[in-house]
Amino acid sequence: MDALKHIAQDCMKAELPQINVGDLVRVHVKIKEGERERIQAFEGTVIAKKHGGIAETFTVRRVAHGCGVERVFPIHSPNIDKVELIRSGKVRRGKLYYLRDRVGKAAKVKEAIR
């Protein structure tokens, strides 16, 4: 087990943004199209964080053209260029799955004053 932890430690990113559930973030993802590579931004609210260590993931939700879109990003993936924190959210839950059922302003998260 120690050997696996040691190998996983080498693959982990050194500097991670401090993101929490409820935050509004912009994730810059590397997209490969043929031989070309470009960076695409995905902006939304963090509704969940799962696991820990090398397998840690976070789920980002946004509404695009009236349709809810969710993406799960591994934090330590080499395909994630950077994660920008746009706004901190004030929430009282660990998972915000209830936002899936809400529409319009009811699906907003209040801003945390820090």
User: What whole-number distance in Å separates Cα of residue 6 and Cα of residue 14?
Assistant: 14
pTM value is 0.90
Domain 2-104 adopts which CATH fold? SH3 type barrels. (2.30.30)
Question: How many other C-beta atoms are found inside a 10 Å radius of the C-beta of residue 109?
Answer: 19
Instruction: Indicate the domain borders of the chain.
Output: 2-104
Structure tokens at 13: 């990113």
At 32 the pLDDT is 96
Beta carbons of 96 and 45 less than 8 angstroms apart: yes
Whether residue 20 has pLDDT greater than 90: yes
Q: Which residues pair with 82 in a beta bridge?
A: 28
In the chain, the amino acid numbered 107 is A
Instruction: State how far the Cα of 14 lies from the Cα of 16, in Å rounded to an integer.
Output: 6
Whether residue 6 has pLDDT greater than 90: no
